[in-house]
Amino acid sequence: MRILPTAALVAVGVLVGAAVPAVSGFVRGLLTAAGLPPTTFAGLEAETRAPEADHAEGDGHAQGDGHAQGEHAHSEDGEDGHVRMTAEQIENQDIKVAKAESGTLSRHILVPGTITPDADRIARVPARVVGTVAEMRKRLGDDVRKGEVVAILDSREVADAKSESLTASVKAELEKANFDRQQALWDKRISAESAFLNARAVYAEAALRQNLARQKLSALGLNATEVAKFAEQDETTPNASTLRQYELRSPLSGRIVERKVDVGTAVGKEGDPSDVYTVADLSTVWIELSVPTSELAKVRDGAGVTVMPSQDGGERHERGRVVFVSPMLNADTRAARVVVALPNTDLAWRPGTYVAAEVEIATDRVPVRVAKSAVQTVEGRRVVFVRTAEGFEMRAVELGRSDDDAVEVAAGLKAGEEIAVANTFLLKAELGKSEAGHAH
């Protein structure tokens, strides 16, 4: 076997060690076996690694510069929670801004209810006399004013009462004239005292009968003065006598919601209809709520109530107030009756409709109150976006109590600071875009 010279082995070892660093241990063994000291190839190995180290250091230096540049760019674009936006951009994206202020949080319970007419705004038009319906002047749904004539009855009872009153009035006038004459004669001592006393007694009796007749008219809802005036008119138009006519008037302003008789119907007697119309003023209605005993102690007179449809899911909401809380429970349902007065100017709330009602049971005054739409969650933290000269600044906050619409800010925000309260998710998205760009 031919042995290579020492110089050749050294050259080969250097080349192999440079080309294949993984076999450098094997090369060392060969060189050592050939009698070459380890310090010889140690220096060569160091020279071989030097360019690689320089290259690595260069890469590290480049990476360090890039990282520094990235941090600089990140801070400029708002890693600290700033979102740069102009006033025009804010307006175009419909981001609403409002001041954080103190306010009240309301807690409530949700209970079912039924719309009913307001008991103080519904009335019947009664047939107060025995008679027959001669005229019906209103139809269902017609508007009426208080005191307006809605129907006319033909009544013998009314004719008798009017006749009695008219007769008593005439009799009283005659007896008064006689009494005045007898008094004048007695004062002059021309007539006897007995004639004067008799005239006075007859006049007193006539005045009493006249007063009783007027009270009877008043009990029927008639006015003696008006009866006398119509009697004078009847003298000129005997074929259009008003003696038997009895006018039915509406006791309040509202609408005709029920018509119970027709023309020609007998009314007033036992077994006859007692009412002609039902009139209701539905500009205000009642909500009959059934509140369970577990919640009853929390409901107070005057408490605010928000009423909404319970079936069709409509968007209509109306505010009312509790006007009555019953001290007694229903024996069957074990619930108490609670009455809510509700405005109904457009008559959209119809009696008999089922509704849902949110009844306020407590109110809490808080120093800083913001809309729930103003709060977002970023990296597990609850934040709001405070308006700045350049746009918005994300601010971590600590939340407290809340209701359906708003929440208390216990820490992180002061009253008077302007924050975004609508479309705040757009600001969160802009913040996310900046962070994604920095990470890239």
Q: How far apart are CA 131 and CA 266, in angstroms?
A: 6
Query: If pLDDT is split at 50, 70 and 90, which confidence band does 21 have?
Result: very low
Residue 173 contacts residue 146 (beta carbons within 8 Å): no
Q: pLDDT digit string (tens) for 303-356?
A: 889 998 876 555 788 899 999 998 888 778 778 889 999 999 888 899 999 999
Nearest-angstrom CA–CA distance, 150 and 261: 12
pLDDT at 94 over 50: yes
- Whether residue 361 contacts residue 407, with contact meaning beta carbons closer than 8 Å, is answered with no
Q: What pLDDT is attached to residue 153?
A: 92
User: Model-level pTM?
Assistant: 0.55
Residue with tokens 């109530």: 305
Pairing verdict, β 284-292 and 335-343 = antiparallel
Query: Which percentage of the chain shows pLDDT scores above 90?
Result: 25
pLDDT band at 96, cuts 50/70/90? confident
As a whole number of angstroms, the distance between CA 320 and CA 113 comes to 13
pLDDT at 160 exceeding the cut of 50: yes
C-alpha–C-alpha distance, residues 390 and 367, integer Å: 28
Residue 279, exposed/middle/buried by CB under 10 A (0-12, 13-18, 19+)? buried
Query: H or E stretch including 207?
Result: helix 193-219
pLDDT tops 90 at residue 121:
yes
- Classified as helix, coil or strand, 388 is coil
- The answer to whether residues 305 and 322 touch, using CB atoms and an 8 Å cutoff, is yes
Task: Identify the CA nearest to 145 among candidates 319, 318, 281.
Answer: 281
Q: Residue 388: how many CB atoms within 10 A of its CB?
A: 13
- Residue 341: its H or E element: strand 335-343
Kindly indicate the confidence band of residue 60, based on its pLDDT and cuts at 50, 70 and 90.
Answer: very low
Report long-range pairs for 392-401 (Cβ below 8 Å, ≥24 apart).
392/82, 392/83, 392/85, 392/420, 392/427, 393/81, 393/82, 393/83, 394/81, 394/82, 394/83, 394/427, 394/431, 395/81, 399/375, 400/366, 401/105, 401/364, 401/366
Q: Which tokens belong to 170?
A: 């005439």
Give the pLDDT confidence score for residue 166 in this predicted structure.
Answer: 87
Q: Largest alpha-carbon pair distance within the chain?
A: 193
Which domains, from first to last, does the chain contain? Answer: 6-73 (no CATH), 81-103+365-439 (2.40.420.20), 107-118+281-364 (2.40.30.170), 128-277 (no CATH)
